Amino acid sequence: MKCILFVEDEPWGVNPYFNSLERKGYACVSAQSADEAVRHLRREKFDLLSLDVMFDAGTVLGSHTDSARTGIHLLEMIREAQIPNCDPQLKVVVLTAVDYPWVEERMKKLGVLAYLKKPALFDKVIAAYVKALE
């Protein structure tokens, strides 16, 4: 069974997707912080990461990040193989309310498969996850 790790500090924002994805045969795991995500990534194999950009009280301002605890930083750690047992080529879909073009550009350079802006249509989000897992 393919497994998705959702990194979202506001779980109500992603929980609605769980039932639909589980009915399609995917397992869903949730992490509410970067530290919790790293713990999961060290212990378990995931087929897809659903990543928010801002969490753990991190902020994204202008053209720089104000906190090391952003989705950008977590994805950089993954891509640079800084998390033991985590595949540096892990597939990633971003689901975020952050609408700065430089953030989207940076995430795409880090290899995300889709950058979805909240509020996104439910069916569009599910389709992005399913496509990423094909």
Q: From 3.40.50.300, 3.40.50.2300, 2.60.120.200, 3.40.50.1000, which CATH number describes the 3-133 domain?
A: 3.40.50.2300
d(Cα 134, Cα 118) in Å, to the nearest integer?
23
Render pLDDT for 41-64 as a digit per residue (tens, 0 to 9).
999 999 999 999 987 555 444 444
Render pLDDT for 4-27 as a digit per residue (tens, 0 to 9).
999 998 878 788 899 999 999 999
Render pLDDT for 94-125 as a digit per residue (tens, 0 to 9).
999 888 999 999 999 999 999 999 999 999 99
- Residues 6+ positions from 119 with CB-CB distance below 8 Å: none
Every domain of the chain and the residues it spans:
3-133
